[in-house]
């Protein structure tokens, strides 16, 4: 047997950096122990003993592989975190879009309902106005029959519009200072009636009694303004509607009526048209 003993190296497959580190530590410890033993037993007469141990060879590429693996794991972790954040943002965006769509739908439905309600209200108002006009026309016709007055031929043009409006107000209330549409005083009614013919009259009975040219009560025409009192300082006015009759807002107890001139004969009259 040779004096030089070779300790075979049994290399196992590489598993991890930690196992290689343990092997290196063990080998180092063995070498240290042998060195100390050789020093203690050495003598001049002793035959030198030479022993050779093969140390485990560390593969330097292992560190590079470990570093690469660690870097790859870190990249994978970071990529997973980025993916998670992107997914969260996408989910938040989808949730926000759904909420906005819901709000827009609710707003559109509310607007459609309000528009439908507005149209329904307008239709009701139109029907009510038509019924009111019909009742006023019927009331005027009844008044003509009850007073035994013959049919009055309505004048043409602007005067017809004035008389038609005045007769449509018969039956409404007299309120001092009122200018319509549910109540009038005497000058307020005359002013509103002339407005139908695009004529702007003064507001008071005094000013209306001196507006236009004076006419005789025997030569009246439909649309003439009748007044009671002195011209320019009249205390009451009304509208001549033809057939010896007038329409006027008389007082709070009678309201707006149609009467014959003999009921309350006026002082004078003025013609505007």
What are the tens digits of pLDDT across the range 54-75?
A: 555 545 566 677 677 777 777 7
Pairwise CA distance, residues 31 & 27, whole Å: 6
CATH architecture, domain 153-271: Alpha-Beta Complex (3.90)
Provide the angle, in degrees to the nearest 10, between the axes of the packed helices 186-195 and 158-168.
140
Mean pLDDT rounded to a whole number for the chain: 75
The dihedrals phi and psi of 254, each to the nearest 5 degrees, come to: -100, -25
The pLDDT-based confidence of 203 (bands split at 50, 70, 90) is very high
| pTM exceeds cut of 0.85 | no
* 215 in Cβ contact with 271 (< 8 Å): yes
The residue ranking higher by pLDDT, 15 or 214, is 214
Whether the per-residue pLDDT at 35 is higher than 70: the answer is no
Whether the per-residue pLDDT at 147 is higher than 60: the answer is no
CA 96 to chain centre: 20
**Residue found under tokens 């009304």:** 238
User: 108-112, 149-153, 251-255 — which is least confidently predicted?
Assistant: 149-153
Whether the per-residue pLDDT at 31 is higher than 60: the answer is no
pLDDT for res 128: 57
pLDDT in tens, 148-157: 333 334 444 6
DSSP 180: S
pLDDT for res 111: 83
Q: How far is CA 105 from CA 93, 94, 109, 115, in A?
A: 18, 17, 6, 15
Q: How large is the average pLDDT for residues 205-229?
A: 96
Whether the per-residue pLDDT at 197 is higher than 80: the answer is yes
Q: Is 264 helix (H, G, I), strand (E, B) or coil?
A: coil
Pairwise CA distance, residues 230 & 237, whole Å: 11
């Amino acid at each position: 047997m040779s004096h030089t003993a070779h300790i075979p190296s049994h290399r196992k497959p590489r598993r991890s950096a930690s196992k290689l580190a343990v092997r290196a530590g063990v080998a180092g410890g063995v070498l240290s122990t042998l060195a100390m033993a050789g020093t203690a037993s050495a003598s001049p007469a002793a035959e030198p003993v030479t022993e050779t141990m093969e140390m485990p060879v560390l593969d330097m590429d292992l560190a590079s592989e470990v570093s690469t693996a660690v870097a790859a794991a870190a990249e994978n972790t970071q990529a997973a975190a980025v993916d998670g954040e992107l997914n969260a943002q996408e989910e938040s965006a989808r949730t926000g879009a759904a909420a906005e769509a819901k709000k827009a739908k609710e707003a559109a439905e509310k607007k459609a309902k309000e528009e439908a309600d507005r149209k329904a209200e307008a239709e009701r108002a139109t029907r009510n106005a038509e019924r009111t006009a019909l009742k006023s026309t019927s009331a005027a016709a009844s008044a003509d029959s009850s007073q035994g007055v013959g049919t009055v031929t309505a004048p043409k043009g602007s005067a017809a519009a004035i008389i038609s409006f005045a007769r449509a107000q018969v039956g409404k209330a007299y309120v001092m200072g009122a200018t319509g549409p549910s109540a009038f005083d005497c000058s307020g009614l005359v002013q509103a009636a002339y407005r139908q013919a695009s004529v702007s009259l003064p507001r008071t009975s005094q000013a209306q009694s001196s507006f236009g040219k004076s006419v005789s009560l025997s030569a009246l025409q439909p649309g003439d303004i009748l007044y009671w009192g002195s011209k320019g300082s009249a205390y009451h006015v009304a509208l001549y509607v033809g057939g010896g009759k007038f329409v006027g807002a008389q007082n709070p107890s009678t309201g707006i009526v149609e009467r014959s001139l003999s009921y309350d004969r006026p002082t004078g009259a003025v013609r505007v048209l």
